[in-house]
Amino acid sequence: MRSETGFDPALYDRFPTREERPAGEMKELERIWCAPKGWQLLTVVNNNYIGAFYVGAAFLFFLLAGVLALVMRVQLAWPLNGILPQETYNQFFTMHGTVMMFLFAVPAVEALGVLLLPQMLAARDLPFPRLSAYAFWAYLIGGLAFFASIFVGLAPDGGWFMYPPYTSTSFSPGINADFWLLGIGFIEISAIAGAIEIIVGVLRTRAPGMSLEKMPIFAWAMLVFAAMIIIGFPAVILGTLLLELERALNWPFFDPTRGGDPLLWQHLFWFFGHPEVYIIFLPAAGLVTMMASALAKTAVVGYRLIVLALVSTGFISFGVWAHHMFTTGMPTLTVGFFSAASMAVSVPAGIQVFSWIATLASGRPRMNTPTLFLVGGIVIFVMGGLTGVMVALVPFDYQAHDSYFIVAHLHYVLIGGMVFPLFAAFYNWTPMMSRRPLSEAMGKWVFWLMFAGMHLTFLPMHVTGLMGMPRRVYTYLPDRDWETTNLLSTIGAGILALGICLFLIDLARNFRFSADENAGNVYGGGTLEWLPTGLYSTRSIPVVRSRDPLWHDPALPEDVEQGRYFLPNSATGLRETIITSPIRAEPEYLQIMPGPSPWPVAAALFTAGFFLLLTVQAYWTGVVSGIIAILCLLRWLWDTDRPVREPQVDIGAGIMAPTYVTGPRSHGWWAMMVLLTVIGMIFLMACFSYLYLYGVHPRLWIAPPDAAWLIPILLAYGAGFGLAWLGRRLLRRDKTRLWTPGVLLMAGGGGSILAFAIDFLSWRGHGLSPDASGQGATVYAFLSLQGLLVAILFIMTCYMAARNSRGLINRPADNSYDLVYLFAAYTAAQGLVSALLTRLFPGSLL
Amino acid sequence: MTRLPIFSRSTEQALAGWPPPVLDPAGPFASSITVLSWVLFAIGGVILGLVLAALWVALAGPERLRSRLGGTRVIWLAGIALPVVVLTALLIYGLTLTSMLRTPTQPSDIRVRVTGEMWWWRVAYLDQTGRVAMTDANEIHIPVGRTVTVELQSSDVIHSFWVPRLSGKIDMVPGRRNVLRMQADAPGVYAGQCAEYCGGAHALMGFMVVAHRPDDYARLMAGRRRPAPVAGGEAARGAQLFQSNGCGACHRVAGTAANGLAGPDLSHVGSRRTLGAGILPNNRGTMIGWIGDPQSLKPGNRMPAYSMLPGRDLTAIAAYLETLR
């Protein structure tokens, strides 16, 4: 048999083991993984807790945004209604869309990932528990503060896609728009932190033997989801950054009178915004696949086709963004391309829908509440998909675009594609984390109310749109015949809300959180999350031999619970999980995991403080808060990356695994690579903006400074990278003085700072002002991005110097050192590319 | 208390508005999209029926059918082959229609330039060389049976020009000039509305396209080229008040000293069907109300309130404006 890492798969045959495990192991596991009590619970990092908090918070935002929608529906119930004045209504619809997309949909699926993935993969926890905790707290604090802006009339009112120039200071002078830009920019950080966690978690912490081929579909979906966040979110992060720079410093990225272009924002926003829909949909679709299989008690039909569908959706979705811009007057050829791609993306959706149907048909589905929500969701989603194909056709979109037809379409897609599957998931997975399952009888009422209410709300909206009613209007006139359908929609919204209220009652009556004394496998699922669990996840980590291990080996739960598989104890007396290889999931090493800590929550609090104080223009307090946040972050890192005494431990059945691994095999290296991909994508989007603005207004551009400046910049960045590289090499040699690597790293950081300074000063001296033109704005945007990287690198090298002085750098290789080295290499590379681009293109053409 | 409208309505009233404008085209551009719409609705209906039937079989159908549905074959047939065939055909249809709708301006076209403003429409009729021949606001007059090229631009934020019965919509993007072609085949008044959210009173940014028989159209345009008749009586006093209160700083009235460009051109305001960009019927009462308190009718618009003027002055100004036809 082939092997990925040199691990002999024959070793799997040692499991399940025969001999009794020593008594007291279980107690020891419970002690190590026990959650802090009382107020200390704020320091909890375990995925069972963070996942549950996360789902709860996302659901809270769903309710809040839903209430906004309900009030808007009352306002639109009849013409010239006066419940919501114009400005308030404009804030309401902006907040409804923004909160639903950024504070509910993405976090909700990410939360399900945090909650379910370790269980499905039989990992003890996600690989970076403190990062999950940080992402959650940042999201909760930032989200609540952002939402509170509506109570004081400071909520943004530019619509959830915030098109400039309406959102520029000329037309939106208040800080409302800044709440959106900084608030959402901040929450994107937490989404990215979650995505890094999920990518590394899925690829490196699967149970031994769970090759990609045997991975639960949800894990596949989350992998594609996280990859799409990594590729897509940078576009909107850059967009918000540019718009905030335009607002704060008057740099004209989107101002057509000074060489900017409002359509640049639309490109950046929708390059994120359309994949966003699939980012929301794919995980939910993954859940539907798994539930269809579990509820019908049969294997997924067309597993490989589904995987293919998930991955191809991910790819195609990045080629469809401009279908939101068909009416902006793009060239016919461009429009044709995006129309074709938009239609193509419905093929993978078709694959999934018919795979669900085939799976249901091949098994014995029971008509319980999860099945109802599942089937209802499929019906709604198919209807939204069909109208989606309609609006992908350009001529039809000329009529439907920005009308209530679109409002109907997008709600069908999102409610059918995400909300109903989510409710199905609530019912299906509650027994995994609650002492009692939710009520079947009440669940059916919840379903029928929601299903009927949903159709009554949104089906008439198609007609309202065809009648000519544009979206985002706070009222309408009586002579347009829009009354009937609008009133029907309002009544429907009330019924939908009634269903959700009933769900809340069910939740209050039956949901009792418990990780270890849960109701168990009431629906008879076949995947690993239905093994008996505690906060440590499963007692021992099983060898996975099929896609539905519990169905294939009915003895598995008992064997796992008796400790007859991998890691039946804590090998080092600390929290730990097995890191496996990315393709075949062969055990590679034992990761030591951090436990509860107050620092992630403190760092989240002060990061939120930084962004919010900037928004309300309390700059100095903001900066202080930011510095405290960085210190909290460094403090939390300080305890990490400390090898334990035993370099090799028994991870079960006498199989030995190392406890400290560095270099490209380590999970830290993987996470840094993902992070650098994010930063690289932000940079790529900046390059796009630069070239785009040149294409729109070339005559405002001036020749760059003398190309000779490139020589010192190149040399200094080269030195920056070279010194860091040399330090890493010297670490391997025993004879080197102890402090040399740290000093070299700092010197390398100095090289990059010098290069950046030369780059910056040469532009300053050249007389290009950032507010002069699109060129000035984008060149200084490059410099700002680079300045940020250099500043982070500086903090990192200081941190490493501090570790060095305390003797905390391990030899012959050190994870922290590796990561800073990677960051230094990236910083030098990006600095070099941006200097070359801005000086050589279109330099020679001018 | 507001009465719930639906409970007092007859079936006929409840069905008012059917067929909706998108499905009730009044010219070739809109009707080509209507045909496409019906094709799409039909295909969509058939596919939805197919999925519902398959779902029913999967959940509750006879065993023989269920077992035939429960394999990968159905995914290949219904999930891949069927969509590929249907979508390819639709794509060809859609792209052909797109390029037809986007054929460039012909020399025979009537040319109108419309500029989006927060929250009204600046209208300029262009001659064959592209020079402005006449200006107006919030109402566009066209002859039936002729294709009209509308040049779309914006002076502030993004707006979108949409007359569902005549054509699809195209955005008005600052810094760019887009072109939309439309045509009406029957005389009538066609409602239009801004479709892209443009802040504040976006909801109240409507306009009218009025299609006339060719000879009526020629007469109307010729009439407008003649200078406005000198007003007498109350209207004459209104004209004076119009000047003395500085209305001319923002509004233009052709042939007078009023030549402001910030607000809508009032040279033909008396003949307009609506006030405030499509939100009020045009009569003396609404005109007085608008001048006296425009902010309560359309919050956030740039027109200051003239509530300090005595009622008879407002009436006189309204009487004067009525004469501008």
Helix (H), strand (E) at residue A805: helix A774-805
Token code pair at residue A804: 């060095």
What does the longest C-alpha to C-alpha distance in chain A come to?
88
The pairing of strands B139-143 and B206-212 is parallel
B contacts of A336 (beta carbons < 8 Å): 95, 98
A166/B101 CB distance under 8 A: no
Q: Say yes or no: A160 contacts chain B, CB-CB below 8 A.
A: no
Residue A741's pLDDT is what? 87
DSSP label at A617?
Answer: T
Residue to substitute from A297, A304, A308, A328, interface B, most B β-carbons within 10 A:
A328
B20/A382 CB distance under 8 A: no
B55/A375 CB distance under 8 A: yes
Residue A372's pLDDT is what? 97
Is-cis flag, bond preceding B119, omega within 30?
Answer: yes
CA distance, residue B2 to nearest chain A CA (Å): 8
Looking at every residue in chain B, the average pLDDT score rounds to 92
Residue B60's pLDDT is what? 92
Share of chain A above pLDDT 90, in %: 90
At residue A4, the 3 state secondary structure works out as: coil
Residue of A nearest to B66 (CA): A361
- Of A335, A386, A470, nearest to B195 by CB-CB distance is A470
CA distance, residue B66 to nearest chain A CA (Å): 5
A398/B102 CB distance under 8 A: no
pTM surpassing 0.90?
A: yes
B98/A332 CB distance under 8 A: yes
In the structure, what pLDDT confidence band is assigned to residue B11 with cuts at 50, 70 and 90?
Answer: low
State how far the alpha carbon of A497 is from the alpha carbons of A418, A420, A500, B217, in Å: 17, 14, 5, 53
Q: What is the DSSP string of B167-229?
A: --EEEE-TT--EEEEE--SS-EEEEEEE-S--STTGGG-EEEEEEE-HHHHHHHHHHHHSPPP
The pLDDT of B183-190, averaged and rounded, is: 96
Residue B104's pLDDT is what? 82
The pLDDT of B116-135, averaged and rounded, is: 95
At residue A252, the 3 state secondary structure works out as: coil
Dihedrals phi, psi of B70, to nearest 5 degrees:
-90, 55
Is pLDDT at B4 greater than 70 in this prediction?
Answer: no
Range list of H helices, B75-194 = 82-101
Residue A236 and residue B189: Cα distance in Å, rounded? 42
Residue A336's pLDDT is what? 92
pLDDT tens column, A332-357? 889 999 999 999 999 999 999 999 99
pLDDT tens column, A597-643? 999 999 999 999 999 999 999 999 999 999 999 999 999 999 999 99
- Of A256, A355, A361, nearest to B66 by CB-CB distance is A361
CA distance, residue A237 to nearest chain B CA (Å): 22
Residue A804 and residue A800: Cα distance in Å, rounded? 6
Residue A214 and residue A235: Cα distance in Å, rounded? 33
Contacting A residues, span 373-412, partner chain B, CB-CB under 8 Å: 375, 378-379, 382-383, 386-387, 389-390, 392-403
A contacts of B6 (beta carbons < 8 Å): 483-484, 487
State how far the alpha carbon of A371 is from the alpha carbons of A113, A166, A364, A445, B296, in Å: 21, 45, 11, 14, 52
Residue A1's pLDDT is what? 52
How many of the other CB atoms lie within 10 Å of CB of A188? 19
Residue B13's pLDDT is what? 61
Token code pair at residue A235: 């576009």
In the structure, what pLDDT confidence band is assigned to residue B14 with cuts at 50, 70 and 90?
Answer: low
Q: What is the DSSP string of A390-428?
A: HHHSHHHHHHHTTBHHHHHHHHHHHIIIIIHHHHHHHHH
CA distance, residue B22 to nearest chain A CA (Å): 5
B160/A327 CB distance under 8 A: yes
Is pLDDT at A293 greater than 70 in this prediction?
Answer: yes
The pLDDT of A197-204, averaged and rounded, is: 97
Residue B3's pLDDT is what? 43
Residue B197 and residue A531: Cα distance in Å, rounded? 52
Residue of A nearest to B63 (CA): A361
A351/B164 CB distance under 8 A: no
Token code pair at residue A88: 């308030």
B contacts of A81 (beta carbons < 8 Å): 2
CA distance, residue A390 to nearest chain B CA (Å): 6
A395/B195 CB distance under 8 A: no
B202/A357 CB distance under 8 A: no
Contact A124, A593 (CB under 8 A): yes
Q: Say yes or no: A243 contacts chain B, CB-CB below 8 A.
A: no
pLDDT tens column, A777-818? 999 999 999 999 999 999 999 999 999 999 899 988 999 999
Q: Say yes or no: A297 contacts chain B, CB-CB below 8 A.
A: no
DSSP label at A566?
Answer: B
A386/B48 CB distance under 8 A: yes
Share of chain A above pLDDT 70, in %: 99
Residue A572 and residue A648: Cα distance in Å, rounded? 10
Q: Give B87's contacts (C-beta < 8 A, 6+ positions apart).
A: A343, A344, A346, A347, A389
Whether the CA torsion A204, A205, A211, A217 is positive or negative: it is negative
CA distance, residue A404 to nearest chain B CA (Å): 10
In the structure, what pLDDT confidence band is assigned to residue B2 with cuts at 50, 70 and 90?
Answer: very low
- Of B40, B80, B102, nearest to A347 by CB-CB distance is B80
Q: Number of helices and strands (H, E) in chain B?
A: 10, 12
The pLDDT of A267-293, averaged and rounded, is: 96
Is pLDDT at B10 greater than 70 in this prediction?
Answer: no
Q: How many CB pairs under 8 A join A and B?
A: 281
B59/A362 CB distance under 8 A: no
At residue B126, the 3 state secondary structure works out as: strand
Contact B126, B145 (CB under 8 A): no
pLDDT tens column, B48-90? 999 999 999 999 999 999 999 999 999 999 999 999 999 999 9
Angle at alpha carbon of residue A607, lines to A606 and A608, rounded to 5°: 90
Residue B12's pLDDT is what? 62
Closest CA to A494 of A453, A442, A537: A453
Domains of chain A listed by start with CATH number: 1-29+539-588 (no CATH), 48-247+267-510 (1.20.210.10), 688-845 (1.20.120)
- Of B2, B80, B194, nearest to A470 by CB-CB distance is B194
pLDDT tens column, B228-240? 777 788 999 999 9
Range list of H helices, A324-393 = 332-344, 346-362, 369-392
- Of B59, B158, B195, nearest to A262 by CB-CB distance is B158
Is pLDDT at B22 greater than 80 in this prediction?
Answer: yes
Contact B141, B159 (CB under 8 A): no
B87/A477 CB distance under 8 A: no
B contacts of A470 (beta carbons < 8 Å): 160, 162, 193-196, 202
Residue A783 and residue A763: Cα distance in Å, rounded? 10
Residue of B nearest to A485 (CA): B14
B6/A483 CB distance under 8 A: yes
Q: Identify the burial level of A616 via C-beta atoms within 10 angstroms of its C-beta, where 0-12 means exposed, 13-18 middle and 19 or more buried.
A: middle
Residue B7's pLDDT is what? 45
A379/B87 CB distance under 8 A: no
Contacting A residues, span 301-320, partner chain B, CB-CB under 8 Å: 301-302, 305
Residue A739's pLDDT is what? 82
Whether the CA torsion A208, A212, A217, A219 is positive or negative: it is positive
Contact A601, A617 (CB under 8 A): no
B191 pairs with which residues across the strands? B208
In the structure, what pLDDT confidence band is assigned to residue A746 with cuts at 50, 70 and 90?
Answer: very high
Q: Say yes or no: A261 contacts chain B, CB-CB below 8 A.
A: yes
Is pLDDT at B1 greater than 50 in this prediction?
Answer: no
HSE of A14 in the Cβ direction (CA atoms, 13 Å)? Answer: 14
Rounded to two decimals, the ipTM of the complex is 0.95
Is pLDDT at B147 greater than 70 in this prediction?
Answer: yes
